[in-house]
Amino acid sequence: MALVDDLRSTLGSDRVRSHPLELIVYDKDAGVTRGEVLAAALPETTQEVAACVRIAAAHGVPVVARGAGTGLAGGSVPAEPALLIVLTRLNQIWEVDEVARTAWVGAGVLNLDLSRATEHLGLHYAPDPSSQAACTVGGNVATNAGGPHCLAEGTTVAHILGVEFVTSDGDVVLLGGKAPDPPGLDLRAVVVGSEGTLGVVTKVLVKLTENPPAVRTLLLTFDSIQAAAATVSGVIAAGIVPAALEMMDQPMVVAVEGFIKAGLPVEAAAVLLAELVGLEEGAAAEAAVVERIATAAGATSVRVAADESERAVLWKARKNAFGAVAQAAPDYYLHDTVVPRTKLVEVMTQIYEIGERNNIRMLNVFHAGDGNLHPLVAYDRREPGMSEKVRAAAEEMVRISVAAGGSLTGEHGVGLEKRDLMGLVFEDVDLDAQARLRDAFDPNGRMNPGKVLPAGARCFDFDLMAGQDGGSS
């Protein structure tokens, strides 16, 4: 096959995967959908990425970029047969600027590696998805990833100052930069969260954040989800924005305790993990307020991490939670929706009700502080009709979240998973505007086609054309 031959002559045969077994290995991410991969290329430089994009274009083949494959919405799973450009080898960290607190990093640098590499400077990279030990900064940019500490720090877009970007023509452009407000349209912010549909991000200029001088981490246990949710609302209402405020329900705590064996309260109906940071006095005072609010709401116990190692174990428990579900069932579908914090109790109740009505196993672990829900359905796809049932339940959960005034996705991206639900939050005119933006970057529709925007997103266009009797588009 000529595509593979061309890739081999550019990258060498050891960095091109095309054997049927290798393609199976590459045809999915950490989510549930599989796609068709024509070949997987492992470039090492921006120029090689650009060459891969040009080779794909010459063969009329779409391009899908992939990092570590930890995505959950199918963002790096081809919707139609495509060349997969795997960016894990672009894993260098350049130009750590200690004074300006910025760094240029390759798209394939692992999120946690970046924080580790800057630890000795007292700095870290703030967005910390649960998969941060495994996921790449490039993938974070693609999905505008969040994480527990995005409650106070904001999601990925707030931490990206610039990107180096390979366009659909194979040109390399630089968007954004160290200047706080670069002139012209802010295309950097357009690229963050575009899920590889505009081009391939190869390098990222990130903002680094100072490590807080003091940290207080609290594990609060409750005998009802409602009491935990009331605490979340109470804390926010008290004017405190914790660095993180995370909830896990009982089934989730049981699953993760099986792995971590950290003495987590497996009998509690729900636990909250709250983190307060700042100057010593401030963090301590805020922690005291959180404790008081939790106790008033009915917290049954409060455990304060005594030292860094206990704190690390609590966070390890939280961040490994989603991976621990195989102890419950072989497959999982991890949802990602957002609801207003004031509607947490209401929506959670409805979500449990959906689970019960459909007789599906549900575990919950989520960013309670910003109302970002992650109901997680554990199931076995080989059970007849199960996958359909799970998908239907998923859609119902998204619908009630949106109906409650929330959003489709908090941080995982739209990908394939939510593509056809975009109509729930966008009018045709909105979708059309987004499709036009996309066309401006990728007129031939070769960059991760079939993602984010539903088929027919440009229907408005056709309406317009019909109405105006063949006006040019």
Partner 1 sequence: MQLSLGPTQAQLDSCVTCGLCLPHCPTFRLTGDETASPRGRLTAMGAIAEGAVAADEVYARMLSFCLQCRACEAACPSLVPFGQMMEGARARLARERPTTTGRIRRLLVGKLLNLKWLLALVTSGVGLVQRLGIMRLLPRRMRLARGLRRQRVFPHSAVGVHDVAPAVPAGSVALLAGCVMDQWFPAVHDATRGVLSMAGYKVDSPETQRCCGALAAHEGAERDAARMAERNVTALQGYDYIVSDAAGCSAHLKDYGHWAEGGGSVAARTRDITEFVAELIDTGRLPEVDGDGGEVAIHDPCHLRHAQRIVDAPRKIVRAAGHTPVEIDPDGLCCGAAGLYMVYEPDTAEALGERKREQVEMAGPTTVVSANPGCEIQLRAHLGKGYRVLHPIELYWEALNR
Query: In one letter, which amino acid is 168?
Result: S
* 384 sits near partner 1 (criterion: CB under 8 A): no
Q: Which of residues 191-250 bind partner 1 (CB under 8 A)?
A: none
Q: Does 330 bind partner 1 (CB under 8 A)?
A: yes
Cβ of residue 382: shortest distance to partner 1, in angstroms? 9
Contacts of 455 (CB under 8 A, 6+ apart): none
Q: 440 CB contacts (<8 Å, ≥6 apart)?
A: none
Residue with Cβ nearer partner 1 (40 or 274): 40
Please state, in angstroms and rounded to a whole number, the distance separating the CA atoms of residues 269 and 173.
51
Number of residues that bind partner 1 (CB under 8 A): 45
Distance CA 311, CA 214 (A): 12
Q: Per rule CB under 8 A, is residue 42 in the interface with partner 1?
A: yes
Greatest pairwise CA separation for the chain in angstroms: 72
Q: Closest Cα to residue 37, out of 88, 79, 87?
A: 79
> Can you read off the two tokens belonging to residue 21?
């077994």
Here's the x/- map for partner 1, 430-459, by CB under 8 A: it reads as ------------------------------
How much is the CA Rg of the chain, to the nearest whole Å?
23
* Structure-block tokens of residue 15: 């960095």
Q: Which residue has the tokens 């004017």?
A: 239
Q: Which 392-421 positions form the footprint of partner 1 (CB under 8 A)?
A: none
String of contacts with partner 1 for each residue 132-171, x by CB under 8 A: -xxx------------------------------------
Question: Looking at beta carbons only, is 108 or 162 nearer to partner 1?
Answer: 108
Distance CA 290, CA 236 (A): 10
- The answer to whether residues 471 and 464 touch, using CB atoms and an 8 Å cutoff, is yes
Of 226-234, 245-253, 256-264, 352-360, which segment contacts partner 1 by CB under 8 A? 256-264
The DSSP element (H or E) to which 384 belongs, if any, is none
Which residues ranging from 257 to 296 are in contact with partner 1 (CB under 8 A)? 258-260
Window 76-115: residues binding partner 1 (CB under 8 A): 86, 88-89, 91, 108, 110, 112-113
Residue 13 CB contacts under 8 Å (≥ 6 apart), including other chains:
none
Check binding of 372 to partner 1 (CB under 8 A): no
Answer for which of 40, 49, 51, 365 binds partner 1 (CB under 8 A) is 40
366 touches partner 1 (CB under 8 A): no
**E strands, 239-327, where?**
244-249, 270-278, 299-304
Binding range to partner 1, per CB under 8 A, among 254-262, 358-366, 427-435, 440-448: 254-262
Residues that bind partner 1 (CB under 8 A): 17, 19-22, 24-26, 28-30, 40, 42, 68-70, 86, 88-89, 91, 108, 110, 112-113, 116, 131, 133-135, 256, 258-260, 320-327, 330-332, 380
